[in-house]
């Protein structure tokens, strides 16, 4: 029993320590947001890496997420509600849940893990120490551009995922149910809500920050050579995914 209590206390203290360290990192990064223009080249490079180079993956996930949503929604509505409302039901699900959450999860796998691996490699090869020796703040040079790009580009990618998701859902509805475009998109228009769209974008904004912040924190905490980099990559993805789902629940309770 004593060993169990000590282990629980140790894990609790570690959790508090890591949580505080993450907030300290974000606070330090926030102080450099006012100097984005001076670091615009670094910021643009990260926006390209996080945003533009993720477009094909987001398109793929968005289309098939919409297609699956259409099939499942049609199955649930069949016999209870007219299929004329399929577009409305599918679009609401995409706007408030599927678009932001699935986009964030795939970006956590592609970008969050990549950030941790890149910064972690620089840490174990002492490149970060070299930056500090040259009076270059690693937080400003490495973390700030990535975190800012995460905040900005994940909502943009979510908008793209929403659009292709709705289109994917329509094509499935047309092929399976022969649903006319004016019927499908008419119901989308009739039940369109700015609140739903903004709620999804707020989620995406938070998810983008979570993914990039966790990636940077895990990267800076890397130790143990190549093996440590591998573990950091996995840890960044797992933590980001878990926090995305946790924040999704919290934001859903707050926003709805």
Residue-wise pLDDT for 198-210, tens only, equals 999 999 999 999 9
What's the pLDDT score for residue 137?
Answer: 87
Q: Is it the case that residue 1 has pLDDT exceeding 70?
A: no
Q: In this predicted model, which residue has the larger pLDDT, 13 or 238?
A: 238
pLDDT of residue 248: 93
Place of tokens 């599918």: 90
Give, in degrees to the nearest 5, the angle at Cα 232 between 226 and 234. 110
Confidence label for 243 from pLDDT (cuts 50, 70 and 90): very high
With a cut of 80, say whether residue 11 has pLDDT above it. no
pLDDT tops 90 at residue 31: no
Burial class (CB in 10 A: 0-12, 13-18, 19+), 24: exposed
Of the listed ranges 50-54, 107-111, 156-160, 220-224, the least confidently predicted one is: 220-224
Q: What is the mean pLDDT of residues 225-252?
A: 90
pLDDT at position 226:
79
Spell out the residues 6+ positions from residue 240 whose beta carbon is closer than 8 angstroms to its own: 108, 112, 210, 211, 214, 215
Domain range for 58? 2-255
Assess whether pLDDT exceeds 90 at residue 225: no
pLDDT at 2 over 70: no
Could you count the other beta carbons within 10 Å of the beta carbon of residue 174?
14
Q: What is the mean pLDDT of the chain?
A: 87
Structural domains in the chain (count): 1
């Amino acid at each position: 029993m004593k060993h169990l209590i000590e282990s629980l206390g140790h894990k609790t203290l570690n959790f508090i320590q890591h949580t505080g360290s993450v907030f300290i990192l974000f606070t330090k990064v926030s102080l450099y947001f006012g100097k984005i223009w001076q670091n615009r080249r670094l910021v643009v490079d990260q926006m390209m890496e996080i945003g533009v180079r993720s477009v094909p993956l987001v398109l793929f996930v968005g289309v098939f997420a919409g297609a699956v949503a259409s099939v499942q929604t049609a199955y649930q509505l069949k016999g209870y509600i007219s299929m004329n409302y399929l577009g409305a039901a599918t679009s609401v699900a995409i706007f408030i849940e599927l678009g932001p959450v699935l986009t964030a999860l795939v970006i956590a796998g592609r970008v969050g893990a990549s950030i941790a691996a890149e910064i972690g490699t620089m840490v174990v090869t002492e490149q970060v120490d070299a930056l500090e020796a040259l009076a270059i703040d690693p937080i400003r040079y490495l973390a700030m551009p990535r975190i800012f790009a995460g905040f900005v580009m994940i909502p943009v990618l979510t908008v793209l995922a929403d659009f292709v998701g709705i289109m994917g859902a329509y094509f499935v509805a047309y092929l399976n149910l022969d649903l006319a475009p004016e019927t499908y998109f008419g119901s989308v228009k009739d039940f369109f809500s700015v609140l739903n769209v903004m709620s999804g974008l707020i989620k995406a904004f938070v998810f983008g920050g979570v993914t990039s912040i966790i990636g940077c924190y895990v990267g800076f905490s890397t130790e143990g050579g190549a093996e440590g980099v591998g573990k950091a990559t996995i840890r960044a993805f797992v933590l980001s995914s878990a926090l995305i789902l946790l924040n999704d629940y919290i934001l859903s309770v707050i926003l709805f």
